[in-house]
Amino acid sequence: MKNEVTLRQFRYFIAAARTGQFSSAAIAENVSQSAITSAVQSLERQLKARLFERLPHGVALTPEGQAFFNHARHVMDSVQDAMRQASLLPQAARGTIRIAATYTVLGYFLPELLSRFKRSYPHVEIDLVDMDRVALESALKDKSIELGIGLLSNIAALDSYGHRLLVRSRRRLWAGIGHPAARHPTVTLAEAARHAHILLTVDDADAAAARHFSSTPARLKVALRTGSLEAVRGLVAHGFGVTILSDLVYRPWSLEGKKIMAIPISDSVAPMDVGLLWPKRRAPSGLADVFRQFLVDACEGMGEGPASMAAGRR
């Protein structure tokens, strides 16, 4: 059929959404940029909708594009899961895995992956515990959990544990659409430091913010510290300050529907790394290793999620 949709088109579209640039998507997929452009244009013609807003420095998902991205990603995940279920192991595996995860992982990373794991391994139970970083590290040291999933970038002595990176997520400056910082395509840390900051305190986000500015002469102006990410979104959207957080937790609107921009930072800013942790001399085995490998496979090529959302501006 002339207008048949292919998995390749889905893959190229997802790559463009995640990188925010057709050129970067082409590099990631090892194809020409024209192949990415052609795939996206074909999808837009068949859907009769514009999937991307073309910008001077890349592309951003339109609302229709964001909705399609969610469906396309689900299709590709389902294909991957179907290939995995062709093995006899998922149906045969039985038992319980004890794992722990931190705030950001539980809220913005793990739920969908757990759902996919349960579809592939219906007889495996997951004993999931909510822990902060300190409690997670303690549990790893006394071996009361088999696996931990947390922010590797927050752990000072990372080599004290076995670990595996799953997703690396860029950090950007969030600002309300009417905020002075939102007028520029990029911002330096020195420029960001001129504005009041709303600091998230969970998962050591405030400590990470302090590290970002440690090499700049400017002192960070803190307007408010809060453990609520929705409070951060709301306050930033209403112009009370800015914040630096990762693309993994970015959403372009507050609960009230006010627009939030995510502005690239031209200086070097450490990304937020999400990964697996296990006791140093106790490599995952049995079902814990099955779950570890599932996450590694599922996150292969996941990147940072729809980075084009974070780059988007109106």
Quote the number of domains for the chain.
3
In a domain, 247, yes or no: yes
Return the CATH number at 247.
3.40.190.10
- Nearest Cα to Cα of residue 163 among 140, 142, 144, 143: 140
Task: Categorize the per-residue pLDDT at 256 as very low, low, confident or very high, splitting at 50, 70 and 90.
Answer: confident
- Asked if 158 and 185 sit in the same domain, the reply is no
Task: Give the structural domain span for 23.
Answer: 7-84
Per DSSP, the residues of 105-152 read: HHHHTHHHHHHHHHHH-TTEEEEEEE--HHHHHHHHHTT--SEEEEEG
- Is the Cβ–Cβ distance between 236 and 174 less than 8 Å? yes
- Asked if 179 and 258 sit in the same domain, the reply is yes
Alpha-carbon gap, residue 23 to 11, rounded angstroms: 14
Is a pLDDT exceeding 60 seen at residue 167? yes
- Is the Cβ–Cβ distance between 253 and 237 less than 8 Å? yes
How much is the CA Rg of the chain, to the nearest whole Å?
Answer: 21
- End position of a domain, from candidates 84, 108, 131: 84
- Asked if 78 and 203 sit in the same domain, the reply is no
Distance of CA 265 to the CA centre of its chain: 17
What are the tens digits of pLDDT across the range 265-303? Answer: 888 899 999 999 999 888 888 899 999 999 998 887 555
Task: Categorize the per-residue pLDDT at 218 as very low, low, confident or very high, splitting at 50, 70 and 90.
Answer: confident
Is a pLDDT exceeding 90 seen at residue 37? yes
> In the chain, which ranges are continuous DSSP H helix?
7-19, 22-29, 33-47, 63-85, 89-92, 103-108, 110-120, 133-141, 189-192, 205-212, 229-237, 286-299, 307-311
In a domain, 314, yes or no: no
In a domain, 258, yes or no: yes
* Token pair for 237: 């959207």
- Asked if 67 and 133 sit in the same domain, the reply is no
Alpha-carbon gap, residue 262 to 29, rounded angstroms: 25
- Asked if 76 and 94 sit in the same domain, the reply is no
Helix (H) or strand (E) holding 198: strand 196-200
Which 8-state DSSP code applies to residue 220? P
Q: What is the chain's mean pLDDT, rounded?
A: 86
Alpha-carbon gap, residue 53 to 310, rounded angstroms: 13
- Asked if 141 and 254 sit in the same domain, the reply is no
What is the model's pLDDT at position 193? 92
- Asked if 178 and 145 sit in the same domain, the reply is no
What are the tens digits of pLDDT across the range 79-122? Answer: 776 666 655 455 567 899 999 999 999 999 999 899 889 888 88
* Token pair for 157: 């002595």
- Is the Cβ–Cβ distance between 99 and 129 less than 8 Å? yes
Alpha-carbon gap, residue 140 to 135, rounded angstroms: 9
> Hey, how many other C-beta atoms are within 10 angstroms of the C-beta on 196?
15
- Asked if 100 and 53 sit in the same domain, the reply is no
Return the CATH number at 28.
1.10.10.10
- Asked if 253 and 104 sit in the same domain, the reply is no
Alpha-carbon gap, residue 310 to 260, rounded angstroms: 9
In a domain, 114, yes or no: yes
In a domain, 213, yes or no: yes
Task: Categorize the per-residue pLDDT at 15 as very low, low, confident or very high, splitting at 50, 70 and 90.
Answer: confident
Alpha-carbon gap, residue 150 to 104, rounded angstroms: 8
- Asked if 162 and 205 sit in the same domain, the reply is no
* Token pair for 21: 């640039």
- End position of a domain, from candidates 69, 84, 99: 84
- Asked if 47 and 71 sit in the same domain, the reply is yes
- Is the Cβ–Cβ distance between 59 and 20 less than 8 Å? yes
- End position of a domain, from candidates 55, 84, 113: 84
In a domain, 243, yes or no: yes
- Asked if 148 and 288 sit in the same domain, the reply is yes
What are the tens digits of pLDDT across the range 187-201? Answer: 999 999 999 999 999
